[in-house]
């Protein structure tokens, strides 16, 4: 056995060392359907000998079997079996009320995914922000779920932390403060009009919870898998240890300046409610414009949460050199495109989608992306290691490329940057947020420099 495998096995054992405080487990209402509440859909649920079985129904929306009680901090364990043709989930800290999408269930969903994608144990924000913790950067977690078999789930929700395990393997580690409490629900996903899936089933059994002295029974934190934090303009303890720093503190313009004047604009950009917003309507003559970081960066991982309005266009640029040629290229750089693909005409311009959301603007199109849509927060991640660059959108990698190669030079030569000498090949530069004349907001802007 390789040393790394031994270390991983030992780490798992340590993670699940029994707490000296005896756990007070309680079963989660597994004897009578009348103790649950069915919301949104028309799929059928039944309970037999402690096993809850959900069965799909044609043309039904997502169906949720919900607890009548809300839960804040808890540890939940259960065993799950699912028809390999379906996907499903376990809702936690979820809500349903008439003022939000006519009562649609929304909140954190722990994924049940038997497909080759392998995102079981990931965290999806149902009917709100979409994917928050996919498993593409946790290859071991992707393999934890065994399709066609019973799988053991463990979910720990303590304060702002939500963590998951499947069959003892860590899958997700997320920090978020949006919903501190809510009901738990078992989902039967909609199959639309797919008759081949009619009557398919998902099952849960051995459902139990700890709801008292939860922190004492929680698993010790570890850096064995990546942590993803959505805490507003705040760094977690682990992020600080990993070298992250905030580029926006949520209150001031410290660290930012206009790309040309070297001063933060007096108008056109607003800082309100923890957001940095380009608001063209507030711009006085000569106000606004692109803003850049005071600092320069070479190798880095950058995270930016952004929200665009209907029909908006903006971007996040990197490798921006504001000094070269007396500032002639102060707003030129590789651009992570921000665009309302559904309503902005630029989405159909360019070549093959290379001007759409998360593209490398006018150069390379994205793939496999999930856009949450207008007026909903999305997360952009840009990773640079030397000449190798990746774009991510909502925890899914959408493109990767390498600068300086013959292929790169050919791509640039076929773009609007063909007459820009050495485009995108500078070794370091500033980060830029673009003022394209549309209302777009940014928050949770953070970066860590890589070796």
Delimiting residues of CATH 2.60.120.560 domain(s) in the chain: 19-228, 237-449
Does this model's pTM top 0.85? My answer is yes
Contact 142, 133 (CB under 8 A): no
Could you tell me where the beta strands, DSSP code E, fall in 137-243? Answer: 151-158, 161-166, 169-175, 183-188, 201-210, 228-229
Q: Which residues pair with 308 in a beta bridge?
A: 440
Measuring CA to CA, how many Å separate 377 from each of 191, 241, 309?
Answer: 27, 26, 10
Main-chain phi, psi angles of 103, to 5 degrees: 90, 10
* Residue 318 exposed, middle or buried by CB count within 10 Å (0-12, 13-18, 19+): buried
Position 356 scores a pLDDT of 98
The confidence score (pLDDT) of residue 46 equals 94
Give yes or no for a contact between 64 and 43, defined as CB atoms under 8 angstroms apart: no
Give the pLDDT of residue 327.
Answer: 66
Q: What is the pLDDT of residue 331?
A: 86
19, 216 Cβ separation under 8 angstroms: yes
pLDDT given at position 162: 98
Q: Tell me which residues of the chain have a pLDDT lower than 70.
A: 1-21, 29-31, 285-286, 326-328
Q: What per-residue confidence (pLDDT) applies to 435?
A: 95
**Predicted pLDDT of residue 30:** 60
pLDDT reported for residue 441? 98
The pLDDT of residue 421: 87
CATH code given to domain 237-449: 2.60.120.560
CATH 2.60.120.560 at 19-228, yes or no? yes
**Phi then psi for 32, rounded to 5 degrees?**
-145, 125
**Residue length of the chain:** 451
Locus of tokens 């500033």: 430
Cα–Cα nearest to 296, from 423, 431, 388:
431
Q: Report strand pairing: 313-320 vs 51-55.
A: unpaired
**Which pLDDT value is given to residue 281?**
82
Asked whether the CA dihedral 184, 28, 69, 171 is positive or negative, the reply is negative
User: In this structure, are residues 210 and 161 in contact, taking their beta carbons and an 8 Å threshold?
Assistant: no
């Amino acid at each position: 056995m390789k040393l790394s495998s031994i270390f991983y096995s030992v780490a798992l054992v340590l993670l699940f060392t029994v707490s000296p405080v005896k756990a007070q487990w309680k079963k989660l209402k597994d004897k009578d359907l009348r103790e649950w509440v069915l919301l949104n859909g028309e799929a059928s649920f039944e309970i037999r000998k402690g096993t809850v079985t959900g069965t799909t129904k044609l043309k039904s929306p997502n169906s949720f079997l919900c607890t009548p009680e809300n839960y804040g901090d808890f540890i939940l364990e259960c065993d799950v079996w699912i028809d390999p043709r379906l996907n499903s989930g376990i809702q936690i800290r979820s809500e349903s009320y008439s003022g939000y999408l006519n009562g649609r269930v929304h909140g954190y969903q722990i994924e049940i995914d038997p497909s080759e994608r392998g995102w079981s144990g990931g965290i999806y924000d149902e009917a709100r922000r979409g994917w928050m913790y996919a498993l593409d950067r946790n290859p071991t977690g992707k393999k934890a779920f065994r399709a066609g078999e019973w799988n053991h789930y463990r979910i720990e929700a303590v304060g702002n932390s939500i963590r998951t395990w499947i069959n003892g393997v860590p899958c997700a580690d997320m920090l978020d403060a949006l919903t501190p409490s809510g009901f738990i629900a078992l989902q039967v996903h909609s199959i639309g009009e797919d008759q081949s899936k009619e009557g398919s089933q998902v099952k849960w059994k051995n459902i139990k919870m700890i709801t008292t002295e939860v922190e004492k029974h929680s698993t010790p934190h570890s850096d064995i898998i990546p942590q993803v934090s959505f805490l507003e303009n705040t760094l977690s303890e682990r992020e600080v240890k990993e070298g992250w720093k905030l580029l926006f503190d949520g209150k001031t313009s410290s660290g930012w300046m206009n790309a040309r004047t070297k001063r933060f604009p007096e108008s056109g950009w607003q800082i309100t409610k923890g957001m940095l917003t380009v608001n063209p309507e507030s711009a006085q003559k000569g106000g606004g414009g692109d803003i850049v970081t005071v600092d320069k960066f070479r190798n880095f991982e950058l995270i930016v949460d952004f929200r665009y309005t209907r029909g908006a266009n903006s971007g996040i640029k990197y490798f921006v050199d504001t000094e070269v040629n007396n500032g002639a290229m102060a707003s030129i750089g590789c651009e992570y495109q921000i665009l309302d693909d559904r309503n902005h005409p630029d989405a159909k311009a360019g070549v093959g989608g290379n001007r759409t959301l998360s593209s490398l603007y006018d150069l390379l199109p994205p793939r496999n992306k999930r856009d949450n849509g207008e007026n909903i927060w999305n997360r952009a991640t840009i990773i640079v290691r030397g000449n190798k660059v990746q774009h991510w959108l909502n925890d899914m990698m959408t493109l990767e490329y390498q600068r300086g190669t013959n292929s790169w030079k050919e791509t640039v030569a076929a773009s609007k940057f063909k007459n820009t000498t050495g485009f995108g090949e500078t070794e370091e530069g500033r980060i830029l947020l673009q003022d394209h004349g549309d209302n777009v907001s940014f928050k949770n802007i953070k970066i860590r420099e890589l070796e």
